[in-house]
């Protein structure tokens, strides 16, 4: 990636340019009558394959046909017509791009049977999302060109489809930005490098602003969590604050992201095998940055503020130690029992700042926080905790709507008790045992979500925590992704925030 999102245009004509893409229903495998401009031999070949039952249009099945007089086609399965919802179309679109080889060329024309604008848009979205590879560090392939697709639709659908595809392309640019940030190797992706990328980004938009709180300022402000995690690295920590439409008044959504650009574990060093994967430990901050890009580029007019807590967790002579007690921005102290439980330390300052310097309608944090969450949910669903049941349901549903699963997890008083019974500090960063590690982490974060006011009976700010340790990378069953960072939850957040 690190370039333009794949071009998907529409046409209300019937001509075919390049390879014909034919999405078909299982049990309804037939060539639509409207298809014109296909070489006769290819047309009869498709008809013969379909009539003989040689292609079963099960979800995501594909078959490529090349006519003897030229012309090529790819058949792609949507599954049974009754079950083919927007998710099936999105996956089929992604499958087409994943299956494209040299033989298919760079131009595709998609012709649907009986469908509607949301399904066609999802198919286009799937193509755009899947058309990504991280090749910045590879030698350029000389004859590599960009894939482009055209969708043939009726005149009646053209205006609505074109607007919907433009919006999907803007949102895909946010997903791809998140993936670019996540895939970037950790020698080039360090806290201040992320901050500089954010500052560069903000220059494109009149309504976007980025503020960077550097190491010196973080120390001055008393951001003890961020400073403790980041001080052992020669690449110092920082906090990056993104504001979109800052001139809008009133309460607004607030996002917070864990941004550990590399997590060695610190003095509580991780085992060597697979440690390279800890470059994805800034996935939460990438989700937040990608969401801001998706909102800005799709023209969202409401106010949104996002905070990313950036640090590199290194073992060093000046690193924090297990046993240290640190004072966070909130004034609460933490007994650091394991330096590898660092995400919660940087987030303690980010959450506190989010709730005290701003007036959030709600706060959502994203973090590759615990291995325990991967044990619980694998790579299939994000862990989702909230202090408000209705809000948790809204996020769960927003995720379901866009095909990004976030699974409700419990925020129990017993876990809070476990994380606040340090003998010498207000909180401890490690549970008493290893059980329920994703839940104890969430319960710890809750201690740093401020109340709405200083009144004794004031409510805590509505807050949700999303543990993306399993879903931000390594998600082999995610059809939108070939490899590496997934960019998950940019689309969930756009759905939650805009309602569209």
Q: How far is CA 285 from CA 273, 343, 368, in A?
A: 25, 11, 10
Residue 141 CB, nearest distance to ligand BES (Å)? 32
**Contact, 41 vs 68, CB < 8 A?**
yes
What does 371 interact with, of ligand BES, Zn ion, none (CB < 5 to 8 A by kind)? ligand BES
Residue among 57 and 372 whose Cβ is closer to ligand BES: 372
**Contact, 94 vs 480, CB < 8 A?**
yes
What does 45 interact with, of ligand BES, Zn ion, none (CB < 5 to 8 A by kind)? none
Contacting range for ligand BES; rule: CB under 6 A; set: 47-55, 127-135, 172-180, 371-379: 371-379
- CA 307, CA 255: separation in Å to the nearest integer? 6
What does 400 interact with, of ligand BES, Zn ion, none (CB < 5 to 8 A by kind)? none
Q: How far is CA 365 from CA 143, 151, 242, 351, 445, in A?
A: 42, 37, 14, 8, 10
Token pair recorded at residue 479: 């059809």
- CA 61, CA 77: separation in Å to the nearest integer? 5
- CA 405, CA 384: separation in Å to the nearest integer? 10
Q: Look at residues 94, 148, 84 and name the one whose alpha carbon lies nearest to residue 114.
A: 84
Q: Give residues 255-284 in contact with ligand BES (rule: CB under 6 A).
A: 263, 281
434 part of the active site: no
Residue among 93 and 470 whose Cβ is closer to ligand BES: 470
- CA 3, CA 10: separation in Å to the nearest integer? 21
CB atoms near residue 359 (< 10 Å): 15
Give the active site residue among 80, 209, 219, 270: 270
Q: Binding to ligand BES by residue 372, rule CB under 6 A?
A: yes
Residue among 82 and 433 whose Cβ is closer to ligand BES: 433
Among 345, 469, 496, 497, binds ligand BES (CB under 6 A): 469
Residues contacting 9, CB < 8 A, separation 6+: 148, 149, 150, 151
Dihedral angle, C-alpha 475, 481, 482, 487, nearest 10 °: -80
Give the active site residue among 344, 446, 479, 495: 344
What does 430 interact with, of Zn ion, ligand BES, none (CB < 5 to 8 A by kind)? ligand BES
> What residues make contact with Zn ion under the rule CB under 5 A?
260, 263, 281, 340, 342-343
258 part of the active site: no
Q: Binding to ligand BES by residue 230, rule CB under 6 A?
A: no
Q: How many residues bind ligand BES (CB under 6 A)?
A: 16
What does 7 interact with, of ligand BES, Zn ion, none (CB < 5 to 8 A by kind)? none
Active site residues: 270, 344
Give the residues lining the site for ligand BES (CB under 6 A). 263, 281, 338, 340-343, 368-372, 374, 430, 437, 469
């Amino acid at each position: 990636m690190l370039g333009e999102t794949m071009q998907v245009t529409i046409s209300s004509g019937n001509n075919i340019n390049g390879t014909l893409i034919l999405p078909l229903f299982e049990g309804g495998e037939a060539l639509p009558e409207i298809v014109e401009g296909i070489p006769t031999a290819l047309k009869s070949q498709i008809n013969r394959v379909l009539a003989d039952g040689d292609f079963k249009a099960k979800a995501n099945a594909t078959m490529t046909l090349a006519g003897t007089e030229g012309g090529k086609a790819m058949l792609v399965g949507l599954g049974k017509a009754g079950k083919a919802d927007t998710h099936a179309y999105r996956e089929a679109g992604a499958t087409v791009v994943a299956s494209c080889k040299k033989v298919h060329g760079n131009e595709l024309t998609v012709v649907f049977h009986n469908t509607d604008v949301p399904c066609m848009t999802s198919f286009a979205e799937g193509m755009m999302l899947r058309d990504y590879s991280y090749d910045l560090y590879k030698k350029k392939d000389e004859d590599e060109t960009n894939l482009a697709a055209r969708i043939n639709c009726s005149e009646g659908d053209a205006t609505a489809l074109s607007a919907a595809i433009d919006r999907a392309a803007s949102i895909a640019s946010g997903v791809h930005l998140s993936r670019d940030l996540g895939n970037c190797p950790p020698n080039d992706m360090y806290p201040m490098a992320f901050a500089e990328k954010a500052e560069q980004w903000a220059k494109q938009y009149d309504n976007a602003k980025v503020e960077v709180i550097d190491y010196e300022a973080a120390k001055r402000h008393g951001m003890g969590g961020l400073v403790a995690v980041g001080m052992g690295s020669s690449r110092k920590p920082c906090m990056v604050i993104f504001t979109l439409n800052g001139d809008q008044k009133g309460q607004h959504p607030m996002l917070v992201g864990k941004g550990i650009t590399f997590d060695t574990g610190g003095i509580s060093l991780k085992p060597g095998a697979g440690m390279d994967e800890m470059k994805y430990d800034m996935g939460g901050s990438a989700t937040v940055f990608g969401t801001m890009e998706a909102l800005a580029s799709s023209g969202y007019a409401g106010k949104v503020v996002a905070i990313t807590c950036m640090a590199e967790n290194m073992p060093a002579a000046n690193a924090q130690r297990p046993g240290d007690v640190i004072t966070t921005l909130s004034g609460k102290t933490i007994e650091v029992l394991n330096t590898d439980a660092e995400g919660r330390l940087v987030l303690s300052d980010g959450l506190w700042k989010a709730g005290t310097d701003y007036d959030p309608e709600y706060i959502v944090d994203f973090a590759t926080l615990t291995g325990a969450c991967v044990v619980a949910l694998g790579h299939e669903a994000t862990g989702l905790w909230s202090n408000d049941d209705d809000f948790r349901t809204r996020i769960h549903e927003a995720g379901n709507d866009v095909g990004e699963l976030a699974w409700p997890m419990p925020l129990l008083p017993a876990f809070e008790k476990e994380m606040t019974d340090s003998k010498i500090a207000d909180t401890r960063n490690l549970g008493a045992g290893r059980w329920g590690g994703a839940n104890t982490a969430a319960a710890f974060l809750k201690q740093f979500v401020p109340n709405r006011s200083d009144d004794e009976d004031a409510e805590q700010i509505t807050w949700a925590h999303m543990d993306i340790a399993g879903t931000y990378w390594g998600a082999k069953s995610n059809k939108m992704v070939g490899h590496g960072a997934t960019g998950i939850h940019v689309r969930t957040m756009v759905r939650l925030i805009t309602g569209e």
